[in-house]
Structure 1
Amino acid sequence: MAATSAAMTQSAIVKICGLSSPETLLAAIESGADMAGFVFFEKSPRHIDFETARTLGLLAQDRISKVALAVDADDAALQDIIEALAPDYLQLHGIETPARVAEVKARFGLPVIKAAGVATPADVEAARAYEGVADVILFDAKPAPNAAVPGGAGVAFDWSLLRGVAAKHWMLSGGLTPENVAEAMRLTGARAVDVSSGVERERGVKDAAKIAGFLAAARLS
């Protein structure tokens, strides 16, 4: 793997999420990203099918860690995703409980990133339930109750809520861009960041120059 949960304590771990083409995957690799996220959720504009996953998975193999993002997927769906992508991580981005996270880890033997939506201090505290279960907690902006997708909306939350967060391995996401990622890392102390819409030229379409700019800004933090 290009990155592991243990590496979350090192400097500036960067994940580019929602990659869907060889060109943008190569842009992430060439810019020095540590993790490439691939979305398996049909309501998302970044959703990829299994044929695309196989192509991108082979291109990424041994060059960057592959993260498969799923939303409240059952075991059969996760098995199909794993067979197509051969991911290094599973990212659970729905309302999966700590018990469900533990089940997924036990069944598939892969490290799990668990997304936790944040809008209030209580949300940060609630995420503590995943400590010791998820390998990485990803703090993201909490979606609106009627949102069609649980992330990737380009919305930031109050980063000051994460000051002094106790979770050992965690990532910051939600509304990050090449212009604000350095400030977000400074305010929160994050040493791992995840971006999707902030490096797009249009919804669901990544921009190579923005990916490079994001990596440069994060690594200078």
Structure 2
Amino acid sequence: MPVTAKICGLSTPETLDAAVAGGASHVGFVFFPPSPRNLSADQARALAARAPGHVRKVGVFVDPDDALVDAAISAGIDALQLHETSAQRRADIAARTGREIWAVIPIKQGADLAYANHIGAADRILYDAKTPRGALPGGMGMRFDWKLLQGFRHPLPWALSGGLDSASIADAARITGASLVDVSSGVETAPGVKDVDKIASFLKAVRSL
């Protein structure tokens, strides 16, 4: 099965274009003000308009309110990646928007995977590294032990995130069996500053899998 990639936290036309040119299946826009990758709805709209229809536009949120979700939907978001959001709230958002829902499960140890079996109200699971208390819930360049996913029976389609880059992606895909991978800080020169060459290198490595 081929591996596809989401380039997350995009904020400029040049990096959006690099993601599309490199063959990304998904592009991610962050709607969370504490993040250095945060976008306004207008900024996201302009970027989403540059992406062809076959590239899925994913909005990234942390327990968002309705106004923020609605603003992102108006900007052209196809799917919502929800961090720190309860199953009931995800269900409410899904019912209101009709959009695909990604539920994020932070992983540090094997016991954290148990939540996947009663995740509820999600179309896809995104496994990401659990960050320290008080830190951003993602985009920190942290990774978890990929071997924790070996042999795990995933209840839903899923994606792998957390500390990926062009040097590690082959091992990550081989160990976990991921068919969709998600990168943010691994294609940056500084927090929130994406690099077109790093994006191209990462996507070239993905295409070689």
Q: Quickly name the TM-score band, shorter chain normalised.
A: over 0.9
Match of 1:12 among 3, 15, 19: 3
Give CA-to-partner distance per residue, 1:51-81, whole Å, 9 cap, x none.
2112112112425210011111012221111
- Map of 2:76 onto structure 1: 86
Which residue of the other structure, out of 32, 53, 60, is the alignment partner of 1:41?
32
- Corresponding position of 2:23: 32
- Which whole-Å deviations, capped at 9, do the CAs of 1:133-172 have from their partners, x for residues lacking one? 311100000011121x110000111111111222230000
Residue 123 (structure 2) pairs with residue 124 (structure 1): no
- The Cα of 1:86 is off from its aligned counterpart by 1.3
1:179 Cα shift? 0.2
- Indicate conservation of the 8 Å contact 1:98/1:129, yes or no: no
Equivalent position of 1:205 in the other structure? 193
Aligned equivalent of 2:157, options 169, 173, 182: 169
User: Unaligned stretches of 5+ in structure 2?
Assistant: none
What is the Cα deviation at residue 12 of structure 1?
0.7
Among residues 198, 215, 219, which one is paired with 2:203 in the alignment? 215
1:31-61 Cα deviation digits (max 9, x unpaired): 0100000000000000111221121121124
Counterpart Cα distance in 2 of 1:14 and 1:78: 24
Partners in 2 of 1:75 and 1:165 — Cα distance?
A: 34
Aligned residue for 2:88? 99
Alignment of 1:146-161 (within 5 A): 146-147=134-135, 149-161=136-148
CA distance in 2, matches of 1:80, 1:28: 23
Which residue of 2 is the match for residue 3 of structure 1? none
Q: CA deviation at 1:194?
A: 0.1
What SS does the corresponding residue of 1:164 show, helix, strand or coil? Answer: coil
Aligned identity (percent) is: 46
Unaligned runs of 5+ in 1: 1-9
1:155-211 CA distance string (max 9 Å, x none): 111111111222230000000000001101101111110000000112111111111
Matched letter for residue 13 of structure 2: P
CA distance in 2, matches of 1:129, 1:206: 35
Length, aligned pairs only: 208
Counterpart secondary structure, 1:139: strand
Amino acid of the structure 2 residue aligned with 1:151: G
Instruction: Please give the TM-score of this superposition, normalised by the length of structure 2.
Output: 0.95
